[in-house]
Amino acid sequence: MTSLYETDIINSATPLETGLAGVHPRMYLTQEGIDALKQKLSGEPWAGFLQRVIRQADASVRAGVPTDCESDVRGYGCGLANLAVACKLTGNPAYLDAVRKLLAAMCSIEDWSHSLNFGHWAHGVALAYDWLYHELDEPLRETVRCTLLDRVMTVYRHWYDYTDAYPNGFTWNHTCVVHAGMFTAGCALWGDIDGVGRVLRMTQEKLRLMVGALGGDGASAEGLAYGQYHQDFLLKSMVLADQLLGEDHFEECAFLRNFPLFITQCAYPRAGWSGQHVFMQFGDNDGSHWYGPDTHLRVLARRYRDPRAQWFADVVAATPGASCEGSAYFNLLFYDPTVPTRSHDDLPTLHHLTDKDIVFMRSGWHDRAALLGIHCGPSQGHHAVRKFRNNVAGGHMHPEAGSFLLHAGGERLIIDAGYTKKFTSYRNTLLVNGIGQTGEGATWFEDLEMRRGKPEGCIRHVYHGDLWDYVIADAANAYEPAAKLTRFLRHVLFIRPDAWLIIDEVGAGADSTFDLRFHGVNAFAPADKGAWVSRNNLMSVSLTPLGPTRTNTRALVTPAVGASANHPDRDQQTLSVTNAAPARSALFITALHVHPSGAAPRVTPTLGGTPAEPWVDVQSDAARVRVRLSPNQQNPATPICAVEYR
């Protein structure tokens, strides 16, 4: 007589089929691994990691049980996962009782959706079923088995029919979360109920495509917040694929190998950390991060023997409020004390994310350093644009080619509108006769024209020197054809530690008004010598439009329309710099300087030379720097700045 293990085949060669059939627990750890972990729980850092899981378990107990799956009830799935781990490691009978009640309640709800709620619930139920298999009675186990497979098959059929974007949105958080729900449920159920093999075969193939769609620089096309959401569930699937299906996707995944460097480089200097407001973020975000990153970094530190990942995970874990605890148990399961730590102090202070074309430039690695980030890359990243014509990354990007953000002295100074509808005017870049970039105008970024072949912006040149850094962003291709834009080269020259020149070469096929937008945390007010100042509590930023094109400068309050009721409308404090008369070309030089709010600026910029060969003196109490410009180079990658220290 054949067994279920022989008929419900995955591929006959997986560790799940050859050695783990009928074994529970098996997700992330077997009972042997759990027993070994229990021996460490009285010592640090495991005792502290356990307390974090217990806090989440206690919150899950207080939350009670869901009564429907129609609203956003994702938290019940995360809470159940932490609760199951806490129950297994502590033996607390109150936790077991809460798990039983949650499982019964969730199984009584017929529709788990085919979207994000499903992914969270399916993973949480799968982990509770697997880890507490022997603590649950058989009637409840049978209820969970049948219910979980039924809910999985609902989504499986939805994907099989390709009725929407989920099955091929390979780097989209929705796809990854839902996929993880199916995949992890399959890993928990296989061998216990008929019909699971096909789920694992399909999700196994999808996982290969999802990993292969990722660019190599460690940054998500969706931005950091949604990227962490995506990564939290991607790691669940990748770990289990390695352990239970024998497929190691980590080895060739440059995205995950480089994620610790990305997350370190986009972190604010430590004086700017506040709760979960830790990172400079492009794309949709509310300022905070939502998942990890220490939980993610523990997996990557262990897998890649990466000392920087281990160090940054320690830093985040030691900072109150900086960790997101949805997968808090990952610290317990994946922390490896044999991986050493290595701080960021010897990293370069300039970092180019070559797939998304984002550059971070900082004055140093001390706690109150300055950090400027500029984005000018394809909405899905170069890798995905080359490989796919379908939208693999969702719509959380923004029309922001050439846009930059600035943080210094522990405060944000130049910001964007965050989680809003997608308009170029909300970003720190250019409008041409009021016209913005392709893809704008709706709640979600629309990349159809780019998928049809329309080129996008890119970073042309990156230079990191001992005293200054230099980036050339080419944003002209990003604009709507109606703008008739023929040239938009944004040169960013960082004269460390606290001064920048933003040099914009613009041209169009007809006389045009070029409108540069800069958004501050607080209103811009006119100051001495043509400067405009936005003052925060600790730090201020001075912007000085220098010419040589004659300009009009205005401080405005501009509305930004929120993406949804959860992300409301807001007013932006805007500085608008336009050419004084319509023209076919213009050269704008804008000097930026950051300084303590209670002190006068210590940098004075001066424009000289001719419109064809201008120069700028940037004079401070420490040095005098002359920057000679040679604009209108035929090759857009050719530097136009020559820097002289005097």
Mean pLDDT confidence for 456-480: 97
CATH of domain 350-599: 2.70.98.70
Query: Is the pLDDT at 186 greater than 90, yes or no?
Result: yes
The first and second tokens of residue 491, run together, are: 């040169």
Q: Confirm if 559 and 585 have CB atoms less than 8 A apart.
A: no
Mean pLDDT of the chain: 96
- Report percent pLDDT > 90 for the chain: 96
CA angle 142, 143, 148 (to 5 degrees): 100
- The separation between CA 259 and the C-alpha centre of its own chain, rounded to angstroms, equals 10
Domain boundaries, the chain: 215-222+238-338, 350-599
Q: Confirm if 531 and 586 have CB atoms less than 8 A apart.
A: no
The first and second tokens of residue 410, run together, are: 């522990």
Q: Which pLDDT belongs to residue 327? A: 96
Mean pLDDT confidence for 428-448: 97
Residues in contact with 406: Cβ distance below 8 Å, sequence separation at least 6, in sequence order: 370, 371, 372, 412, 413, 414, 500, 541, 592, 594
> 70 vs 115, 172, 473, CA distance in Å?
11, 22, 44
Q: How many CB atoms lie within 10 A of CB 293?
A: 28
List, for residues 159-172, the tens digit of each pLDDT value: 999 988 899 999 99
Confidence (pTM): 0.96
Mean pLDDT confidence for 537-557: 97
The dihedral built from the CA positions of residue 147, 110, 160 and 439, taken in this order, carries a sign that is negative
* Nearest Cα to Cα of residue 380 among 372, 367, 390: 390
- The H or E element spanning position 110 is none
State the Cα–Cα distance between residues 518 and 524, nearest whole angstrom: 10
* Nearest Cα to Cα of residue 627 among 589, 581, 597: 589
Q: Which pLDDT belongs to residue 1? A: 42
List, for residues 123-143, the tens digit of each pLDDT value: 999 999 999 999 999 999 999
Q: Confirm if 459 and 475 have CB atoms less than 8 A apart.
A: no
Q: Confirm if 371 and 359 have CB atoms less than 8 A apart.
A: no
The first and second tokens of residue 25, run together, are: 């627990």
Indicate the pLDDT class of residue 2, thresholds 50, 70 and 90.
low
List, for residues 275-331, the tens digit of each pLDDT value: 999 999 999 999 999 999 999 999 999 999 999 999 999 999 999 999 999 999 999
Question: What stretches of 218-284 adopt beta strand conformation (E)?
Answer: none
List, for residues 267-281, the tens digit of each pLDDT value: 999 999 999 999 999
Query: Is the pLDDT at 368 greater than 60, yes or no?
Result: yes
Q: For 21-115, where are the alpha helices, taking DSSP H only?
A: 31-38, 46-63, 74-90, 93-107
Mean pLDDT confidence for 589-602: 94
Q: Which pLDDT belongs to residue 622? A: 74
List, for residues 61-116, the tens digit of each pLDDT value: 999 999 999 999 999 999 999 999 999 999 999 999 999 999 999 999 999 999 99
The first and second tokens of residue 106, run together, are: 């969730």
Query: Is the pLDDT at 421 greater than 50, yes or no?
Result: yes
